[in-house]
Amino acid sequence: MRVGRPWTTFGRGACALLLLGVTGCSAASGDEASARREAPLAAEAPLRPPRAVDSLLGLFDQTASVVEGEVTDVRGEYSPRTGPWTVVTLGNVRAHLGAAPRELRLKQAGGLLPDGRQLVVSHVPRFVRGARYVVFLRNTGWSLSPVLDEHAFRVESVAGREVLVGAEGGLVAGLGPAGVRQTAPVFETVDLTGARPAPRAEALSRGAPEGMEREAFLSLLQNHLRARGLAVTGAFREAPVTTASSLSVPVTPAAGASGVPGAVPLQPERDVPPGQP
């Protein structure tokens, strides 16, 4: 993938990037000889490209499995060739739809650079260590995250009920024609440290919106597929396809000032289909 070409759009929302702690947009360079020694990333077989998740059927069509597990580890990886990545390990995994091993590694674009900067990719979910999650895994090729369109829902207790919390802090409220329905934000979003977000005081003062209990939502998913004679299919792949690189992103500054001191706002980008430069 090369900077400067138009980006094909897939998925819901853009993946805006921030390089934290710098005033320029260039990525740190590494030892070229070391990079050449690394084995290329390659898909086992041609994969469907990711597409926008703008309907419930589109969601199911791109889902390999829906799993639940506990975040046992979050660590960074860096390669001069492919840039920084964050690897989230889910333990004690249970597959509610499809199949999955007892432990999963979710490799996502973004993380620490060798010089201390941090590459942050929006619309790539952030995980809280020690928290439990319900995650939709892709059956398509991917270059930024194997999680399907931010469908990683944290299990929280609200008013004595186990509910699911989305990336923006809203509670999962059910299914609709466009996909998973969520309420207005009840929790803060996960920050860069990965700390567990606090509830929003103003939301609780008005009374938290009604979210579905975790078990009820999982049963709703299964019953909906059964009623329509559908099933999730395909396989989840831990590695990105082709020569995906978290450094291969547009670096043109976005319009407007950054709201984060020391951060450089970049133009948004979207996931790209396998094989695209």
Interval 101-147: pLDDT, tens? 999 999 999 998 998 888 988 889 999 999 999 999 999 999 899 99
- Neighbouring C-beta atoms of residue 233, cutoff 10 Å: 12
Question: What is the CA angle 66-134-56, rounded to 5?
Answer: 55
> Residue 258, exposed/middle/buried by CB under 10 A (0-12, 13-18, 19+)?
middle
Domain boundaries, the chain: 17-265
Kindly state the DSSP code that residue 253 receives in the 8-state scheme.
Answer: B
What are 142-176's pLDDT values in tens digits?
989 999 999 999 999 988 899 999 999 999 999 99
What's the predicted TM-score (pTM) here?
Answer: 0.76
Comparing 152 with 259, the larger pLDDT belongs to 152
Burial of residue 71, with CB atoms counted within 10 A of its CB: 0-12 exposed, 13-18 middle, 19 or more buried: buried
- For 59: left if phi > 0, alpha if psi spans -120 to 50, otherwise beta; the answer is alpha
